[in-house]
Amino acid sequence: MSVGKKAWNIAWRIGVCVLLLGWIFHAIFLNEAKVAAERNHLPWKELTRSQQWQQAWQNGPPELWQSVSHIEPSALIMSVLAVGLVLFVGVIRWRIVLEVQGLHLSWGRATEICAVAHFFNSFLLGSTGGDLMRAYYAARETHHKKTEAVVTVFVDRLVGLWAMLLFASIMMIPNVALISSHNSLRAVAAFVLAMTIACTVIVGLAFWGGVSKRWPGARARLRQLPKGAYLEKSLDSCREFGQHPAFVPKSLAISMLLNTLTVIQVWFLAKGMHLNISPVALMMIVPTVVLIAAMPITPSGLGVRENLFVLMLSAPSIAVPATSALSLSLLAFAGSLFWSLVGGIVYATLRERHHLKESELNEGENATMRA
């Protein structure tokens, strides 16, 4: 891909991010200005559109800041700590994935790589862009199992995605009344259920296969593709996870803990903002928002996440004000940004050690080839 095309791909996604954020901020500020005008008995309808917009951006930001600044400090601290626990549980799950491939990373090294990956998540597309960096560093940890190391990142993300989809789908059951009360929620729920079915099929094919049994020539065609040998080796690496009976239940259990902590993080913020949101509703809403925001649409899911929080929390049975829902989303992202800053410090201070490690591995690989 040319440099110009890469720049265009990045630019239009950033543009979408800015448009989504601008749209949701403008819509909320406009509503806040209208409510304030009606409260003060001002003729809102007699104002021109430009005057209404001026009032929106004059009164909206102070209202948003007031909503954000009223959170209890203890709730904000607990929320940030919950994000840290989420990241730590993610390290535990990845080490389990690595062990299946016979790759043994120390706790310190695995945590370091995951911290750097989280840092890159802050500005790469979706909320999973840092996986590219994690795969890069994981591959540098070995000179004989580079493919397997990269596959562990894919499998870790696949299991995490599958578990969160299952979590969100299961939590739709006690939230049937909530989903039925809002047309948009029904559409989002249907989309998540479709994703769950598709992901379940992908997990089954990746871990246990079945395509080559039905179509004997599938493997031969796979090898004919560009990088076919690499794809076949990656597929064989995935099969190893299906051959370990304890892997799927253990990784799913850890992922469910991770999902619960993700919900708890938002619950802390909601309590700190004195928002009356049912924990049961949050257990469906939060993973749904995280799943859709993880799609590579905007950097770090910005704009997508905020629109979804406002959309889902504005359902009649929850009735959270739009400004409060937006504040909740921004504060949740702020907790993630704190740990991204930590990851950035790790990347900046330990980058030379990473490069030293790479040169050492290259020397080891060259020595092996000479032998």
Q: What are phi and psi of 125, to 5 degrees?
A: -65, 145
Alpha-helix runs per DSSP H in the chain: 3-39, 49-69, 73-100, 107-121, 131-139, 146-170, 176-180, 183-208, 211-214, 218-224, 228-242, 247-272, 279-293, 304-313, 322-370
- Is residue 185 a contact partner of residue 312, using CB atoms and an 8 Å limit? yes
Residue 24, helix vs strand vs coil: helix
Instruction: Supply the pTM of this predicted model.
Output: 0.76
Query: Who has greater pLDDT, 208 or 11?
Result: 208
Name the burial class of residue 58, with classes exposed (0-12), middle (13-18) and buried (19+) by CB atoms within 10 angstroms of its CB: exposed
State the Cα–Cα distance between residues 135 and 157, nearest whole angstrom.
11
Q: Look at residue 165 and tell me whether its pLDDT is greater than 60.
A: yes
State the Cα–Cα distance between residues 328 and 334, nearest whole angstrom.
10
How does pLDDT run across 66-114, given as a tens digit for each residue? 767 778 999 999 999 999 999 999 999 999 999 998 888 889 889 988 9
pLDDT value at residue 221: 64
State the Cα–Cα distance between residues 4 and 7, nearest whole angstrom.
5
Q: What is the mean pLDDT of the chain?
A: 80
pLDDT value at residue 361: 41
Query: Who has greater pLDDT, 119 or 156?
Result: 156
Query: Who has greater pLDDT, 159 or 37?
Result: 159
201-213 average pLDDT score:
79
pLDDT value at residue 341: 83
How does pLDDT run across 318-327, given as a tens digit for each residue? 888 888 888 8
Lowest-pLDDT range, 101-105, 234-238, 326-330?
234-238
pLDDT value at residue 203: 92
pLDDT value at residue 164: 96
257-279 average pLDDT score:
94
Residue 294, helix vs strand vs coil: coil
Q: Look at residue 260 and tell me whether its pLDDT is greater than 90.
A: yes
How does pLDDT run across 170-203, given as a tens digit for each residue? 999 999 998 988 888 899 999 999 999 999 999 9
51-80 average pLDDT score:
81
Q: What are phi and psi of 275, to 5 degrees?
A: -95, 130
**Confidence band for 220, pLDDT divided at 50, 70 and 90:** low
